[in-house]
Structure 1
Amino acid sequence: MNTMTETAALQAAAGNDTPAPTFRDELIASGLLIDTGENGLYGRSQVFEDVVDRLNVAITHLGSDQDPEVLRFPPAMRRTDFEDSEYLKNFPQLAGTIHSFCGNESGQMRLLRCLDDAMEKSDDDRDTAWMEQQKPTRVVLTPAACYPIYPVMARRGPLPANGRTIDVLSYCFRHEPSLDPARMQMFRQREYVRLGNPEQVMAFRQMWIDRGSLLVSLLALPVDVDLANDPFFGRGGKIVADSQRAQALKFELLIPVANPDSKTACLSFNYHMDHFGGIWKIECEDGSTAHTGCVGFGMERITLALFRHHGLDVNAWPDDVRALLWGDTQARIQRGLAETGV
């Protein structure tokens, strides 16, 4: 297993036996994150989870006037819905599938023999022959919290005249192992998703750019919203990414997290146009194809940003931040909305 940080590895190679601890090292040493031995896969402490829970309360109050329908899904979705979504067309490198043993007793014996052989090796050198006995199941890991929503909405028939707004939260998976603590393989997304006509969705996205910026300001974190694109795969992906930027379909709210010299996307504001509406044949009341958009809150990333900028001891955080998270959250959010008019 490799638990050495990238900075530590570089310094060790240069002959420096006492590398400076990175932010990841500090998080693990403090017990806020628990190292599992797999890059990008962490346990979370009670303190860390408490901050996540209180952020969720603040986000709920931030969107309560939108009267959203609250839906919660497990971190897995039906494989056929995943196939229909075209995720593999754009991000095959990030997808995670779920396999299980589907053989007979003799197959199990072959599996166990292979497993015994594998366990004779060290972690990083183990053979994966036992996995040949595994077969794809009918479910895959959820890549984004909003993905299970669209087939559900399609089965309900045409949208009402004012469209629909959905509040969804899920653990998500993306296969991008990293030593950057803000780039986890399993993480939580809280989203508000809008389905309706183009005007409704565009107004929703602008409102959430403003509201997301307000929340981050109330948390005393730096606010920097910028045009962005998704990590589309391959050479053809650059063309798609350039088109996404040219049409201004995606914005991100960026905050320095792991490295003070670089910024991490902690919120994203997306306009999908009629992509998902077309795939699942979601219609507006007038029969036109529905457009969709979403705001995504990276729950671990915002939490990590708080620890980066305010310190690892939550009791020493600024009074206004503590009052927002551990005080009268609803009143402070409502006051912020009233003062900014967003």
Structure 2
Amino acid sequence: MSEYKPSVDEAQPLDTAAALAEVLDRVAARTFRDDLIDAGLLIPTGVDGLYGRSEVFENVVEAINRLVTQRGADQGAEVMRFPPAMNRADFEDSEYLKSFPNLAGTVHSFCGGEREHHRLLKCLEDGEDWMDNQKPTRVVLTPAACYPCYPVVAKRGPLPPEGRTIDVFSYCFRHEPSLDPARMQMFRMREYVRMGTPDQIVQFRAMWIERGKALIETLGLPHSIELANDPFFGRGGKIVADSQRAQELKFELLIPIESEEKPTACLSFNYHMDHFGEIWKFYTADGAVAHTGCVGFGMERTTLALFGNHGLDVENWPASVREALWGKQ
């Protein structure tokens, strides 16, 4: 493990216990990240939260993905696979910017002419800012795997009486640079998305809470299910978060990765009520605004949980875990 060296800011005298706790958290995160990098599992890019993955790491991700597919084989889900970018107009309609403007990622491109291009090259040569002529494109980075599927389904008209279930899997982006390897800026989510009546969504979520727990138990990982809320932005965000908790709209499956005291959310179980149905105007078979919900599997986080709890050498993982992931060897 490489030696951790505090930054200039961290080396200053600490005035509060909170500041000390923050530094200690960063040290712990840096240590685990360094272990993963030293083992060749993550490949640093020079940007916190942005990593390449090794073959071993990807083999674990693929094995977890197969397990999720097996658990959802009876769902009759329609498979949709989208790139890690979505239509900017749909993104704006989703109201994501109302709640999480600090996490959003936009895609810009050069929109100048010859003169602007020469200016850009001069800025690069002089080490100056070259972004003046970069303009927003019609796409943004996908913040959650389920977002692109709602407008697609809405265009088909009313849902069938049994509702609809969609299987989505995508890289997602959230702008929250961190030394914690479990808090990546680009990561993959596998989701089953349910659309239908309130009863259908509630039953779906209850079923997947049990299935999610069973899957994690198969992997030999300690865990707990906790009521949660999303990280809504701004002063009004606390009110929205409190409402989300009061209505019990979000639960998370937490697994200790770096510490027992601060376990990490690796799976989430969400009930959106009629939020997306109202935005994109899609309805149940009887004409009511459709409700939606989803179960999300954090692929990198679940993989990191395996390395954090069973060690960095997959050959030394418990035989039962290896068999669950790859079958009898």
Deviates more, 1:251-260 or 1:45-54: 251-260
Pairwise CA distance, 1:8: 4.0
**In 2, Cα distance between equivalents of 1:24 and 1:220:** 22
**TM-score, normalized by length of structure 1?**
0.88
Q: Aligned residue for 2:24? A: none
Unaligned runs of 5+ in 1: 119-126, 330-342
1:271 counterpart letter in structure 2: Y
Q: Aligned residue for 2:244? A: 244
- Structure 1 residues 28, 238: closer, same or farther in 2, change over 3 A? same
**In 2, Cα distance between equivalents of 1:220 and 1:88:** 38
**In 2, Cα distance between equivalents of 1:235 and 1:14:** 30
**CA contact 2:223–2:256 (8 Å) conserved in 1:** no
**In 2, Cα distance between equivalents of 1:86 and 1:328:** 47
1:250 counterpart letter in structure 2: K
Answering whether residue 111 of structure 2 is matched by residue 102 of structure 1, we say yes
Q: Aligned residue for 1:323? A: 323
- Structure 1 residues 14, 29: closer, same or farther in 2, change over 3 A? farther
Task: Say which structure is richer in helix.
Answer: 1
Pairwise CA distance, 1:103: 1.0
Answering whether residue 46 of structure 2 is matched by residue 25 of structure 1, we say no
2:210 counterpart letter in structure 1: D
Answering whether residue 90 of structure 2 is matched by residue 81 of structure 1, we say yes
Pairwise CA distance, 1:259: 3.2
1:194 counterpart letter in structure 2: R
**In 2, Cα distance between equivalents of 1:258 and 1:42:** 18
Unaligned runs of 5+ in 2: 14-26
**CA contact 1:24–1:258 (8 Å) conserved in 2:** no
**In 2, Cα distance between equivalents of 1:308 and 1:215:** 17
**CA contact 2:82–2:169 (8 Å) conserved in 1:** yes
Q: Aligned residue for 2:161? A: 161
**In 2, Cα distance between equivalents of 1:155 and 1:34:** 41
Q: Aligned residue for 1:62? A: 71
Pairwise CA distance, 1:257: 1.3
% of aligned pairs identical?
68
2:179 counterpart letter in structure 1: L
Matches for 1:259-278 after TM superposition, within 5 Å? 259-278=259-278
Q: Aligned residue for 1:137? A: 137
The runs of at least 4 aligned residues of structure 1 exceeding 4 Å deviation read none
**In 2, Cα distance between equivalents of 1:242 and 1:175:** 23
The residue matched to 2:226 in structure 1 has which SS?
Answer: strand
**In 2, Cα distance between equivalents of 1:287 and 1:111:** 54
How many residue pairs were aligned? 313
**CA contact 1:282–1:289 (8 Å) conserved in 2:** yes
Deviates more, 1:107-116 or 1:269-278: 107-116
**In 1, Cα distance between equivalents of 2:181 and 2:261:** 15
**In 1, Cα distance between equivalents of 2:124 and 2:96:** 32
The residue matched to 1:282 in structure 2 has which SS?
Answer: coil
Q: Aligned residue for 1:298? A: 298
Find 1:117's aligned residue among 110, 126, 138.
126
**CA contact 1:145–1:189 (8 Å) conserved in 2:** yes
Q: Aligned residue for 2:287? A: 287
**In 1, Cα distance between equivalents of 2:305 and 2:251:** 18
**In 1, Cα distance between equivalents of 2:39 and 2:148:** 36
- Structure 1 residues 10, 214: closer, same or farther in 2, change over 3 A? farther
Q: Aligned residue for 2:21? A: none
1:169 counterpart letter in structure 2: F
Q: Aligned residue for 1:9? A: 6
The residue matched to 2:179 in structure 1 has which SS?
Answer: coil
**In 2, Cα distance between equivalents of 1:210 and 1:8:** 43
RMSD: 1.9
Pairwise CA distance, 1:67: 1.3
**In 1, Cα distance between equivalents of 2:98 and 2:119:** 35
2:6 counterpart letter in structure 1: A
Pairwise CA distance, 1:14: 8.1
**In 2, Cα distance between equivalents of 1:323 and 1:14:** 49
**CA contact 1:180–1:258 (8 Å) conserved in 2:** no
The residue matched to 1:13 in structure 2 has which SS?
Answer: coil
**TM-score, normalized by length of structure 2?**
0.92
**In 1, Cα distance between equivalents of 2:83 and 2:328:** 30
**In 1, Cα distance between equivalents of 2:6 and 2:263:** 22
**CA contact 2:49–2:180 (8 Å) conserved in 1:** yes
Answering whether residue 91 of structure 2 is matched by residue 93 of structure 1, we say no
2:169 counterpart letter in structure 1: L
Answering whether residue 36 of structure 2 is matched by residue 39 of structure 1, we say no
